Amino acid sequence: MNIIKCLLFTAASMVLLGLSSCKKTINEIDYPFTEIKSFTVPAVNGGELSIAIDQNTLTLYWPGYTNIPDSIAPVIVVAERAKISPASGKKVALKDGLTYTVTAQNGTSASYKLKVVNNQAPPQLNDESPLATKQYDQINLNGRVNYLIPDLEKTKAYLVDGSGQEIRLMIVDLGRTALNLFVDTYDQTNLPAPGKYKLKIVTGDKSVRSKTDFITINKADFAPPYIFNPSAQPIKVKRGTRVTLPFRNLSGNTITLISLDGFNILDIVSVAADGKGLVVDIPTEHSTGEFYLPTVYYDHEATKISGSLVSPRSISPIIITE
């Protein structure tokens, strides 16, 4: 009996030893994948733009009806267990050559470069029939233009004289098919002289220039006063407080009334010490919001002419808050 037990124990041990020798350790291999699966950019209208991925180039076709922003925060999906830098959702400057690097789990990496294609249609000037106006008056091009970006920092307009000199004008109204200009120089250095001019429009990175000098500028009787704030910073003021509004052509004119919205009237206090602004009080009941086209009523002292002028758009608005 003891001999049988001994044999059984020996057999069992050999079986266990055999099983143990057959067991192998499986080592998991790190993933080597570095692909970008998808790359989308949230759009202004609530949708999203998808980037075309071709080998190591990411091509973003930006629609021409919207401004190309300075930065984006794309949503990116990469291969399993890989990482990307800059990370998905991180805000980055939007420019050609921006590099994204995908690093696989095993340390392998691949770089992708961004290419931005502006799908903006070139601006059009469809009608060059003669237009006549005068200094400090308006040039209404509504219906004559198309494919303009409605952004004061993206769209600019110039009169071009016979020598090719370009004189940048100010904008009263701007839309995709609308452009209303004010005949005074943006930087107030070179008022367009009486004469005939061509027109040049720059919108985004596209431009158009008229074939003919279809715009005639006549001499103004005098320089009327108007509000203009060329600063990138808006004029921000609370209701019931005092502020100085920047003016042009105050000298020789008496301001009789100012309205930012066509309804509420500001309380005029005095001319600023430097003669380039008007100190006003904002009524406590004034409506709040952003105002771009204030109206100025005035008396011209030399001619005894009374008039009103809708001020051209500034880059930044006058903002009234609670």
CATH number at residue 306: 2.60.40
Q: Is the domain of 208 the same as that of 234? A: no
Q: Pick the residue with more confidence: 112 or 62?
A: 112
- Cα 74 to Cα 22, 51, 67, 112: the distances in Å are 51, 10, 17, 14
- The band of 44, judged by pLDDT with boundaries at 50, 70 and 90, is low
Spatial distance between the Cα atoms of 308 and 137, rounded to a whole number of angstroms:
11
Q: Scanning the structure block, which residue is given the tokens 């805000």?
A: 91
What's residue 45's pLDDT? 67
How far, in whole angstroms, is CA 120 from its chain's centroid? 14
Q: Scanning the structure block, which residue is given the tokens 């200094």?
A: 135
CATH number at residue 90: 2.60.40.2340
Whether 291 is in a domain gets the answer: yes
Q: Pick the residue with more confidence: 28 or 95?
A: 95
* 39: pLDDT strictly greater than 60: yes
Lowest average pLDDT, out of 24-28, 137-141, 181-185, goes to 24-28
Domain boundary among 180, 195, 218: 218
What's residue 7's pLDDT? 44
Whether 28 is in a domain gets the answer: no
- The band of 230, judged by pLDDT with boundaries at 50, 70 and 90, is confident
Q: Is the domain of 255 the same as that of 294? A: yes
Whether 61 is in a domain gets the answer: yes
Average pLDDT of the segment spanning 85-98:
95
CB 310 within 8 A of CB 302: no
Structural domains counted in the chain: 3
Spatial distance between the Cα atoms of 101 and 34, rounded to a whole number of angstroms:
9
Lowest average pLDDT, out of 78-87, 181-190, 242-251, goes to 181-190
Q: What is the mean pLDDT of the chain?
A: 89
What's residue 15's pLDDT? 47
* 253: pLDDT strictly greater than 80: yes
* 12: pLDDT strictly greater than 80: no
What's residue 14's pLDDT? 53
**What is the CB neighbour count within 10 angstroms for residue 5?**
9
Whether 20 is in a domain gets the answer: no
Q: Is the domain of 115 the same as that of 131? A: no
Q: Is the domain of 114 the same as that of 131? A: no
90: amino acid identity, one letter: K
Whether 24 is in a domain gets the answer: no
Q: Is the domain of 104 the same as that of 151? A: no
Domain boundary among 218, 246, 264: 218
For 307, the 3-state DSSP assignment is strand
**259: which strand partners?**
295
Which residues lie below 8 Å from residue 291, measured CB to CB, with a gap of 6+? Answer: 260, 261, 317, 318, 319, 320
pLDDT, tens only, 161-205:
999 999 999 999 999 999 999 999 888 788 999 999 999 999 988
Q: Is the domain of 240 the same as that of 214? A: no
* 231: pLDDT strictly greater than 90: no
Instruction: Provide, rounded to the nearest whole percent, the portion of the chain with pLDDT above 90.
Output: 71
CB 286 within 8 A of CB 273: no
Domain boundary among 218, 250, 272: 218
DSSP 121: P
Spatial distance between the Cα atoms of 261 and 88, rounded to a whole number of angstroms:
44
Whether 19 is in a domain gets the answer: no
Q: Is the domain of 88 the same as that of 165? A: no
**What is the CB neighbour count within 10 angstroms for residue 99?**
12
Q: Roughly how many angstroms between the first and final C-alpha of the chain, as a whole number?
A: 105
Whether 141 is in a domain gets the answer: yes
* 223: pLDDT strictly greater than 60: yes
Output phi, psi for 20, to 5 deg.
-65, -40
How far, in whole angstroms, is CA 164 from its chain's centroid? 29
pLDDT, tens only, 267-316:
999 999 999 999 999 999 999 999 988 999 999 999 999 999 999 887 78
Exposure b/e, 129-144, CB count within 10 A at least 16 = b: eebebebbbbbebeeb
Exposure b/e, 171-181, CB count within 10 A at least 16 = b: bbbbeeebbbb
Lowest average pLDDT, out of 80-89, 126-135, 225-234, goes to 225-234
Q: Is the domain of 109 the same as that of 139? A: no
User: Which range of residues forms the domain containing residue 314?
Assistant: 226-321
What's residue 65's pLDDT? 66
Whether 31 is in a domain gets the answer: no
pTM, to two decimals: 0.71
Q: Is the domain of 158 the same as that of 91? A: no
What's residue 25's pLDDT? 58
For 40, the 3-state DSSP assignment is strand
What's residue 66's pLDDT? 72
Q: Is the domain of 204 the same as that of 255? A: no
- Cα 4 to Cα 1, 11, 18, 123: the distances in Å are 5, 11, 21, 103
What's residue 19's pLDDT? 47
CATH number at residue 137: 2.60.40.10
Q: Is the domain of 206 the same as that of 166? A: yes
Q: Is the domain of 311 the same as that of 260? A: yes
DSSP-assigned letters across all residues of 254-291: EEEEEESSSS---EEEEE-TTSSEEEEEPPTTPPPEEE
Average pLDDT of the segment spanning 14-26:
52
**What is the CB neighbour count within 10 angstroms for residue 104?**
20
Helix (H) or strand (E) holding 155: strand 155-160
